[in-house]
Amino acid sequence: MTQGVELARLAMTDRSDIVLTSHHVSRRKDSGWRGEDNVIIPREAITSVSLEWHRNVGFIVAGAIVLLISLVPQVFTLPFELPLFVQPTVAAVGVAIMLLSLIKSKSLQIAGPTAAIEGEPDDYEEAEQFCDLLTRTKEPPPAGKNNDIEVASGDEAIDSKWHL
């Protein structure tokens, strides 16, 4: 397999890199004594590229529950006395948990017919640029006579480049 020219490199949070060359996309993940993972997908075989981010709504729910728990001494009469610092401390913890929902989770997936490269990129904007470069076609399709695009007909249109 020819290596090709390296076009881009994307750093991931697990200290691995995804490398885009003119021929393929690859990722080598070395987990030390636990093992090593090498994935190489030819550019022509890439079926999908997914880059997404989301916020964890679970932190908002958990923070709201902790805030409600901090209100229990005001609503109900407890059979014991709580120190004065407990209620504001529990409320502050609830707010801190809710603020954790501001953290974005990012994920990138490059899929082929038999393999996928997945991970969390260090920087979302760099990942967007990487995906733009990855999905950009290498060469424009050849044009027919009079600059018309030739359309395959019948069996030629159904046949795929990849066969098992």
Of 10, 14, 103, whose CA–CA distance to 63 is shortest? 103
Q: For residues 141 and 149, is the Cβ–Cβ distance under 8 A? A: yes
**Strand, coil or helix: 108:** strand
Question: Does residue 85 have a pLDDT over 50?
Answer: yes
- Weakest mean pLDDT among 78-87, 99-108, 133-142: 133-142
Residue 41 is encoded by which pair of tokens? 């997908």
Of 53, 57, 54, whose CA–CA distance to 124 is shortest? 53
Span 9-61, pLDDT tens digits: 999 988 889 998 888 898 888 777 787 788 889 888 889 899 998 888 899 99
Give the Cβ contact number of residue 65 at 10 Å.
12
Question: Does residue 65 have a pLDDT over 70?
Answer: yes
* One-letter amino acid of 128: E
d(CA 101, CA 153): 52
Span 117-151, pLDDT tens digits: 998 999 999 999 999 988 885 544 445 444 444 44
Q: For residues 124 and 137, is the Cβ–Cβ distance under 8 A? A: no
